[in-house]
Structure 1
């Protein structure tokens, strides 16, 4: 490889690596910008697929893998797959942290699809 081609290659490789780093930084910034809703009321105002972390209580089961989650600001339906419980047992008196994503359903209903639940 002659010196000009080598310089062009190294320059392109450097830009490629810096582009990846910039994309990773942008991705992290975008994720931080989304942030985590602190309340049910705030979560209900977020767009689909927005990641949320909420703390409150599972007050009752409303259907297969569906529950009512409540905090001081209100309540929302959460979907917790059977395998996501990982043997955890909670009552309405227990405080839990849920991590998941906002889903807008037909009729304007908001639901949180839970990826992780932890008893506090």
Structure 2
């Protein structure tokens, strides 16, 4: 009988240690590092500020593009002409992307989106806009 009690006691102690380690997965205990302190990984628009319109136009259809420049004129309901130091590109920016902000032609902005080369000439569909 003592043997059964000893085995039951040991199995109870072992089972508590197994249950204690069953806390895996994502833990939201600490804040992530700020973007400028990251060594690797996606950092958003900071990574691609060197991309130009000429480089973007050479990319494949559906490519993710990040550009910095100016909106110089409105060409349709949600279509604009975007310019940087290398040229111009037609962009589609839905009103929701502006999020209530107004942009003047002399204001430097950064835009993220995808390139649509099926349309001639190529058009960038913008999904994020940030004033610089």
Which of structure 1's runs of 4+ aligned residues deviate more than 4 A? none
1:79 alignment counterpart: 92
How many residues in Structure 1 have an aligned counterpart in Structure 2? Answer: 86
Alignment of 1:109 with 2:121, yes or no, is yes
For structure 2, which runs of at least 5 residues remain unmatched after alignment?
1-40, 42-46
**Per-residue deviation, residues 27-80 of structure 1 (Å, max 9, x unmatched):** xx9xxxxx8470011111111110011000000000010000000000000000
Which one has a larger percent strand, Structure 1 or Structure 2? 1
Aligned pair partner of 2:56 in 32, 37, 43: 43
Higher helix share: 1
The TM-score, its normalising length taken from structure 1, stands at 0.67
Alignment correspondent of 1:118: 130
Q: Unpaired runs of 5+ in structure 1?
A: 1-28, 30-34
The structure that has the greater radius of gyration is 2
Taking the aligned partners of 2:66 and 2:127, their CA distance within structure 1 comes to 10
Query: What value does the CA root-mean-square deviation take over the aligned residues?
Result: 1.7
- TM-score (norm. length: structure 2): 0.61
